[in-house]
Amino acid sequence: MKTQVAIIGAGPAGLLLGHLLRAEGIDAVVVERQSPDYVLGRIRAGVLERVTTDLMERLGLDARMHAEGIPHDGFNLADGERLIRIDITALTGRQVMVYGQTEVTRDLMDAAPARGLEVIYEAADVALHNVESDAPSISYTRGGAEHRIEARFIAGCDGFHGPSRKAIPERVARAFEKVYPFGWLGILADVPPCNHELIYANHANGFALASMRSETRSRYYIQVPLDEKIEDWPDDRLWDELAVRLGPDAAAHITRGPSIEKSIAPLRSFVFEPMRHGSLFLAGDSAHIVPPTGAKGLNLAASDVVYLSDALIGYFRRNDADGVAGYSGRALARVWKSERFSWQLTSLMHRFPENGPFERRMQVAELDYIANSDAAQTSIAENYVGLPL
Ligand code: APR
Ligand code: PHB
């Protein structure tokens, strides 16, 4: 098979890119290792910046997002008795949209056939070939048969564990990484949220987050040590701990219910440079990971895809290769700013086992500063709502 852009990975990055290219008449095929159900079974964050909602609108795939998503004007930082509300709309004139990443993926997936975007699921052994040439290809096996897709470009949208990043030689690459000494234990339950806005809480027992998917579905997280076992957290223990960490006001409004999903995810900051090598581009989690504090993962994938689709549309429609040459630099400039914000919010709101009383006083002083400074609140708000492209 021949196409113009072979896309590896049918997560949000790969599907958004495929749709944007198809909308411009550019041929693209997406190759995904998992089944559609598996892809939709992954529960991820649920706060969309304008960059992401704008893309869904540009694609005309925003109807369900606008019907079911919840626009938020603010969020809260809790520290002991103190609750600091960050009024993002008053401070920036913008809102964020609470709508699950799973739902974004579902909307993109459902629309693919009608938009002429072919997605090949359950493709095993995906391998990249000749990425330094103008005629790269990918090979894969499916149903016992071997297949090859020849393309002008390959877009590696295959997440942190995919093969694309590894196809860039070490001699030209550099990776930056910070692994945090804890993870997030998340629970999804069909109960009303305890608060109409998100609460990020720093408690002596560790961080907690109260989030939501809808008026009737809640998503909560607590910080746990990396070696914690999910079996040690029956629902009741988790609800008890959330009530302690989120503080008495939120606790009074927590509705308990059986978990419909419960999992532990490690926290990591990671950036890989460059994001293009020859005819291979990286976008989304294949090139960078942020800790979930601030929900930047999907939104960064969306901004990568804005830059990458611009570059590819310029190349194929206007014979202009400048965007291709500039992609990595443009994307990384925004990536590093989101990395900084996610790392800073993680550092501010978590209890680090290696930290002592001095570091704790620094957290308290910073939260105090934020509580009393419009400038500090504006800085947090403009990062949370999303920096300009
Ligand atoms: N071959 C084909 N597909 C692969 C392979 C492979 N060898 N390895 C991984 N994939 C697929 C995964 O199964 C997944 O569906 O690539 C896709 C990558 O999707 P995501 O992990 O969702 O990454 P991305 O699209 O970059 O989205 C970034 O999603 O991971 C979250 O928190 C992250 O919000 C961020 C956003
Ligand atoms: C979520 O709802 O899953 C969520 C929200 C905000 C975050 C992280 C996760 O910062």
Give the pLDDT score at 42: 87
Could you give the CA distance from residue 313 to residue 103 in angstroms, rounded to a whole number? 27
Atom of ligand 2 nearest to the CA of 211: 2
Ligand 2 touching residue 211 (CB < 6 A)? yes
Quote the DSSP letter at residue 354.
T
pLDDT at position 110: 98
149 CB near ligand 2 (under 6 Å): no
Ligand 2 nearest atom to the CA of residue 213, by list position: 2
What residues are annotated to the active site? 72, 200, 292, 296, 384
Q: Could you tell me which CATH class the domain 5-58+100-176+268-346 is placed in?
A: alpha beta
Domain 180-267+351-385 fold is D-Amino Acid Oxidase; Chain A, domain 2 (3.30.9)
Instruction: Indicate the domain borders of the chain.
Output: 5-58+100-176+268-346, 180-267+351-385
| Residue ranges with strand state E in the chain | 5-8, 28-31, 47-48, 70-72, 75-79, 82-86, 96-98, 118-120, 124-129, 137-142, 145-150, 153-156, 174-189, 199-203, 206-212, 218-224, 259-273, 276-277, 280-282, 288-289
Whether the predicted model's global pTM rises above the 0.85 cut = yes
Q: How many whole angstroms separate alpha carbon 212 and alpha carbon 254? A: 12
Q: Check for a shared fold between 5-58+100-176+268-346 and 180-267+351-385.
A: no
Q: How far apart are the first and last CA of the chain?
A: 35
Q: Is 47 in the pocket of ligand 2 (CB under 6 A)?
A: yes
Tell which residue, 140, 126, 137, has the closest CA to residue 286: 126
Instruction: Tell me the residue length of the chain.
Output: 389
Distance CA 49, CA 294 (A): 11
Ligand nearest to the CA of 99: 2
**Residue 81 pLDDT:** 85
Please give the number of the atom of ligand 2 that sits closest to the Cα of 44.
3
Question: Could you tell me if the CB of 45 is within 6 A of ligand 2?
Answer: yes
pLDDT tens per residue across all 389 residues of the chain: 999 999 999 999 999 999 999 999 999 999 999 999 999 998 888 999 999 999 999 999 999 999 999 999 999 999 988 999 999 999 999 999 999 999 999 999 999 999 999 999 999 999 999 999 999 999 999 999 999 999 999 999 999 999 999 999 999 999 999 999 999 999 999 999 999 999 999 999 999 999 999 999 999 999 999 999 999 999 999 999 999 999 999 999 999 999 999 999 999 999 999 999 999 999 999 999 999 999 999 999 999 999 999 999 999 999 999 999 999 999 999 999 999 999 999 999 999 999 999 999 999 999 999 999 999 999 999 999 999 99
